[in-house]
């Protein structure tokens, strides 16, 4: 029986675990491998890709699967480029056949695509949360291959700068209070910050806000910003464009505050307040203070 | 410094995506078009590098005749010229797209020092065209970059990770894919728009290879099934909001 090779970035990470689970659907023996980057080439992506290319050939792999993380996608793209084979990024399901078909996400998750993949071995990455994660039963660690070219080694990390941790991060926050164009100005965000602070949450925003220079891009939620998964996402003055929703649909609940009852944000919301955020948000903050004082 | 930036024309979908009857494209009759914010930032970065170090910034797109609009938009903020690989508007798979870009790069009279891409295209999100172009041209590639600085014949790139930032340094010529946040793109000025009309766009007909990642159809993901409960209108809704926050345990 042929082998489906799975590149494991980090065995403790759900994305890697999900890749192993998805490879199970291919019907071949799943071989989960981590690559030992010994040799001091911190994340030399082409070296990892070359290692996978050789491993796939040596084992006659029917498929090479990687997690749909930025890194997983990059490494598999490099494998695909080296082998001149097609690669399907961020798949949610796969059906083996002649040809194999996949369903993959587009537009940051706002759209699905069904596609045929013509070429073997099959190269694919698994989209986040497409399948449930499970601990990896058997993980093999292989060394990086010795036969890499100078070009393979050209890209490596020369320095790592740790983040100075400040407050609750957008990705981990239980509450995200997010402002859109309706906030009106950079100063307008003081009421958004106040509510976020009262709830121990983080401040987010839409792209209209970062484009206007009211908030830094690190606050942006959406397809080209951060993906958040709080207990509740409070969207103030945000219209609900698909590219924004791509970043907050992981929220357990969504409260939208907007005077336009027709705004599409309400279609994706659990709770709605129809009104002007400049009145509603301070009133909520005042009510929280009142509740806590009594 | 000769810099090439690759951008893709995509529809601006607004609040709801509607598919065409054959389910192979987005219904765009009432939509505007743009490029990915990642790619717009790539163009801005190229323009800034050229302003600081001299040279030229060229924007390239593979797309329908209408995609010239996106090239003109980027020339309006300062790109010097455009290359338009004209298609009939149907989707090209990433291998065919990369091959056409590689052929266009090879046909340039002057060598290209830096080729910029978006981290992923807005619509297809294949995460691979940049890496394929680099491999075919034998160039080093760094992806998902949030900061670029030039030092003589090398480029220093910073990439965000969960722990902080990884710094890479590669020799030019190189391929770099960038993400939104690397800069804040400028808006086009009226004179900028006027100038853009007179800047050169070289149109060419690219050769299409057979699609090996072949799109069959598109589908909308299942509805969230959320039904918004109206907690009230205006500031009078505040007590109901606080009650809800208490019920769900975030207070
Ligand atoms: C490829 C691509 C990627 C993108 N990525 C992102 C992304 O990552 N994140 C993102 O956010 N966007 C992204 N966008 C942009 C997106 O399409 C929208 O343009 C953007 O989300 C709109 O921001 P907004 O809702 O704040 O502004 P608008 O759409 O202008 O909406 C403003 C809202 O505020 C309401 N409002 C006005 N006054 C008040 C008031 N006083 N009180 C309460 N409400 C009020 C209005 O009714 C309206 O609904 C992307 C676009 C593209 C093409
Ligand atoms: N049709 C196209 N024309 C020009 N550049 C493109 C095209 N498609 C993709 N690209 C570039 O390749 C990057 C990655 O695309 P993708 O591999 O589809 O995610 C994009 O951000 C663009 O910079």
- The number of the ligand 1 atom at minimal distance from the alpha carbon of B122 is 1
Cβ–Cβ under 8 Å, residues B17 and B220: yes
pLDDT grade for B45, boundaries at 50, 70 and 90: very high
Range with lowest mean pLDDT among A166-180, A185-199, A247-261, B113-127? A166-180
Residue the block writes with tokens 């030992």 = A36
Q: Which ligand number lies closest to the CA of residue B118?
A: 2
The average pLDDT across A260-286 equals 97
Q: In what order do the strands lie in the sheet with A100-106?
A: A139-143, A29-36, A3-7, A63-67, A122-126, A88-95, A100-106, A111-117, B213-219
3-state secondary structure of A269: coil
Tokens representing residue A135 in the block = 């601990």
- If one counts the domains in chain B, the total is 1
Mean pLDDT along residues A195-209: 98
Domain around A84: 3-143
**CATH number where A196 lies:** 3.40.50.1220
Mean pLDDT of A190-202: 98
- From the list B15, B166, B229, which residue is nearest A241 (CB)? B15
The predicted pLDDT at position A136 comes to: 96
- For atom 53 of ligand 1, the residue with the nearest CA is B12
Chain B CA closest to residue A171: B162
Q: Confirm if B155 and B114 have CB atoms less than 8 A apart.
A: yes
Domain presence at residue A163: no
Q: Is residue A18 part of a domain?
A: yes
Q: Can you tell me the distance from the alpha carbon of B175 to that of A151, in angstroms, rounded to the nearest whole number?
A: 12
This complex has an ipTM of 0.97
Q: CB distance A267–B131 less than 8 Å?
A: no
What local confidence, expressed as pLDDT, does residue A163 receive? Answer: 84
- What's A124's domain CATH number? 3.40.50.620
Q: What is the mean pLDDT of residues B178-194?
A: 97
Q: What is the pLDDT of residue A29?
A: 96
Same domain, A123 and A216: no
Q: Which residues of B touch A45 (CB under 8 A)?
A: 143
Q: Does residue A126 sit in the same domain as residue A186?
A: no
For A184-188, A278-282, B151-155, which range has the lowest pLDDT when averaged over its residues? B151-155
Nearest CA in chain A to B166: A160
Q: What percent of chain B has pLDDT over 90?
A: 94
d(CA A239, CA B18): 17
B173: CATH: 3.40.50.620
- Answer yes or no: do A9 and A138 share one domain: yes
pTM over 0.95: yes
Give the pLDDT confidence of A64-89 residue by residue, as tens digits.
999 999 999 999 999 999 999 999 99
Q: Please report the residues numbered 112 through 151 in chain A whose beta carbons come closer than 8 angstroms to any beta carbon of chain B.
A: 112-119, 125, 151
What is the rounded CA–CA span in Å between residue A262 and residue A272?
A: 11
Portion of chain A with pLDDT greater than 70, in percent:
98
Q: What angle do CA A49, B119, A162 make, to 5 degrees?
A: 80
A185 has pLDDT over 60: yes
Same domain, A16 and A133: yes
**Pair A87, A29 in one domain:** yes
One domain, residues A263 and A205: yes
Does A155 fall in a domain?
no
Q: CB within 6 Å of ligand 2 — which residues?
A: B 6-8, 36, 38-39, 60-63, 94, 97, 117-118, 120-121, 124-130
Which of B 140-199 lie inside 8 A of A, CB atoms? 140-144, 158, 161, 163-171, 179-181, 184
CB-nearest partner of B128 from A77, A111, A118 = A77
Residue B110 lies in a domain: yes
pLDDT for A41? 67
Position A161 in a domain: no
CB A258 near ligand 1, within 6 Å: yes
Mean pLDDT, residues A14-36 taken together:
96
Q: Tell whether A24 is covered by a domain.
A: yes
Q: How far is A240 from chain B (nearest CA, A)?
A: 6
Q: What is the pLDDT of residues A248-267, one digit of tens each?
A: 999 999 999 999 999 999 99
Separation of alpha carbons B160 and B147, rounded Å = 9
Rounded CA-CA distance A78/B143 in Å is 11
Does A221 map to a domain?
yes
Q: Is residue B226 part of a domain?
A: no
* Same-domain check for residues A28 and A130: yes
Determine which residue's CA is closest to atom 15 belonging to ligand 1.
A207
The answer as to whether B246 is a domain residue is no
Are both A11 and A129 inside the same structural domain? Answer: yes
Is the per-residue pLDDT at A1 higher than 70? Answer: no
Ligand number nearest to the C-alpha of B31: 1
Domains held by chain A: number:
2
Domain range spanning residue B64?
Answer: 2-219
Domain-embedded: residue B241: no
Question: Do residue A123 and residue A12 come from a single domain?
Answer: yes
In angstroms, what is the span from residue A145 Cα to ligand 2's centroid? 30
Q: Residue A40's pLDDT band (boundaries 50, 70, 90)?
A: low
Q: Does residue A39 carry a pLDDT above 60?
A: no
Mean pLDDT of chain A: 95
Choose the residue to mutate in A188, A227, A240, A241 for probing ligand 1, maximizing ligand atoms within 8 Å of C-beta. Answer: A241
Q: Which ligand has the nearest atom to the CA of B85?
A: 2
Say if residues A66 and A20 touch (Cβ distance below 8 Å): no
Residues A19 and A84 in one domain: yes
Report pLDDT digits (tens) over A118-151: 999 999 999 999 999 999 999 999 999 878 888 8
**pLDDT over 70 at B38, yes or no:** yes
Residue B188 pLDDT > 60, yes or no?
Answer: yes
Mean pLDDT across the stretch A15-31?
A: 97
Q: What is the mean pLDDT of chain B?
A: 96
pLDDT beyond 90 at B67: yes
Q: Quick one: pLDDT band at residue A42, thresholds 50, 70, 90?
A: confident
- Verify whether ligand 1 is closer than 6 Å to residue A272 (CB atom): no
pLDDT of residue A37: 72
Whether residues A9 and A136 share a domain: the answer is: yes
Instruction: Give A137→chain B minimum CA distance, Å.
Output: 25
Asked if B218 lies within 8 A of A232 by C-beta distance, the reply is no
Question: Would you say residue A148 lies in a domain?
Answer: no
With H, G, I as helix, E, B as strand and everything else as coil, classify residue A118. coil
Residue A158 lies in a domain: no
Same domain, A128 and A19: yes
Cα atoms in the 13 Å half-sphere on the side-chain side of A232: 23
pLDDT recorded at residue A194: 98
């Amino acid at each position: 029986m042929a082998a489906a090779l799975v590149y494991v970035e980090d065995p403790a990470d759900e994305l890697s675990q999900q890749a192993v689970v998805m490879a199970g659907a291919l019907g071949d023996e799943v071989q989960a491998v981590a690559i030992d980057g010994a040799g001091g080439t911190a994340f030399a992506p082409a070296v990892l890709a070359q290692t996978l290319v050789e491993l796939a050939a040596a084992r006659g792999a029917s498929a090479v699967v990687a997690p749909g993380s930025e890194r997983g996608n990059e490494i598999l793209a490099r494998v695909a480029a080296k082998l001149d084979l097609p690669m399907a990024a961020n798949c949610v399901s796969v059906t083996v056949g002649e040809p194999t078909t996949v369903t993959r996400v587009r537009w940051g998750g706002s759209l699905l695509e069904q596609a045929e993949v013509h070429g073997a071995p099959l190269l694919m990455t698994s989209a986040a949360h497409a399948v449930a994660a499970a601990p990896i039963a058997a993980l093999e660690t292989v060394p990086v291959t010795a036969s890499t070219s100078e070009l393979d080694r050209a890209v490596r990390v020369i320095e790592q700068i740790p983040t100075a941790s400040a407050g609750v991060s957008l990705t981990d926050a239980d509450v995200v209070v997010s402002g859109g164009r309706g906030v009106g100005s950079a100063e307008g965000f003081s009421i958004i910050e106040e509510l976020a602070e009262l709830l121990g949450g983080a401040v987010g925003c839409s792209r209209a806000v970062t484009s206007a220079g009211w908030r830094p891009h690190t606050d942006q939620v959406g397809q080209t910003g951060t993906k958040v998964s709080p207990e509740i996402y409070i969207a103030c003055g945000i219209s609900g464009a698909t590219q924004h929703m791509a970043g907050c649909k992981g929220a357990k609940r969504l409260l939208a505050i907007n005077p336009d009852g027709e705004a599409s944000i309400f279609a994706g919301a659990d709770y709605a307040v129809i009104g002007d955020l400049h009145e509603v948000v301070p009133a909520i903050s005042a009510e929280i203070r009142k509740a806590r004082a009594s | 410094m000769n810099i090439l930036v690759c951008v893709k024309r995509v529809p601006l979908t607004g609040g709801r995506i509607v598919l065409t009857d054959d389910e192979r494209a987005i219904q765009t009759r009432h939509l505007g078009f743009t490029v990915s914010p990642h790619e717009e930032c790539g163009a801005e970065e190229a323009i800034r590098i050229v302003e600081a170090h001299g040279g030229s910034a060229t924007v390239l797109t593979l797309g329908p005749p209408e995609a010239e609009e996106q090239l003109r938009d980027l020339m309006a903020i300062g790109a010097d010229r455009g290359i338009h690989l004209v298609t009939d508007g149907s989707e090209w798979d990433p291998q065919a797209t990369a091959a056409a870009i590689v052929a266009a790069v090879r046909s340039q009279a002057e060598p290209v020092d830096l080729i910029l891409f978006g981290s992923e295209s807005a619509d297809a999100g294949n995460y691979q065209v940049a890496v394929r172009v680099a491999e075919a041209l034998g160039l080093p590639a760094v992806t998902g970059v949030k900061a670029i600085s030039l030092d003589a014949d090398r480029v220093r790139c910073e990439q965000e990770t969960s722990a902080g930032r990884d710094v890479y340094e590669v020799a030019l010529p190189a391929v770099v894919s960038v993400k939104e946040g690397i800069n804040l793109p400028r808006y086009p000025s009226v004179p900028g728009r006027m100038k853009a009309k007179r800047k050169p766009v070289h149109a060419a007909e690219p050769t299409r290879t057979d699609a090996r990642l072949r799109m069959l159809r598109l589908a909308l993901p299942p509805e969230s099934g959320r039904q918004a409960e109206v907690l009230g209108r205006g500031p009078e809704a505040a007590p109901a909001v606080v009650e809800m926050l208490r019920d769900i345990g975030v207070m």
